Amino acid sequence: MSGVAHITGKKIMAEILAPLTGKIVDVLVSVGTSITEDDELIVIEALKMENLVYASGNGTVKEVRVKKGDSVKDGDVLLVIA
């Protein structure tokens, strides 16, 4: 899974990025959800295959920037985790 970390004050914010171009099939978390490493976050369909996006660490979902049915490109921000 791809991601970018930003330091804001004393908090580290991580952006979860789309690993490929496709369509959002399901968003498995919402704002405020506590996540741990390897939790399933989002399902993206590409080339008729469903691909899971997993958490790379622990944190809390601060922003959900996509919804079911959205089209995304490789590198688009899907979630923000703190």
Q: Structural domain of residue 25, as residue ranges?
A: 2-81
Q: Give residue 13's pLDDT.
A: 82
Q: What is the pTM of this model?
A: 0.85
Q: Give residue 66's pLDDT.
A: 98
Q: Which among 32, 74, 69, 33 is positioned nearest to 53, based on CA atoms?
A: 74
The per-residue pLDDT for range 22-71, each reduced to its tens digit, is: 999 999 999 999 999 999 999 999 999 999 999 988 999 999 999 999 99
Question: With left for phi above 0 and alpha for psi between -120 and 50, is residue 81 left, alpha or beta?
Answer: beta
> What total number of domains does the chain contain?
1
Q: What is the CATH number of the domain that holds 35?
A: 2.40.50.100
The per-residue pLDDT for range 1-17, each reduced to its tens digit, is: 455 554 455 567 899 99
Judge whether 48 and 22 are in contact, CB under 8 Å.
Answer: no
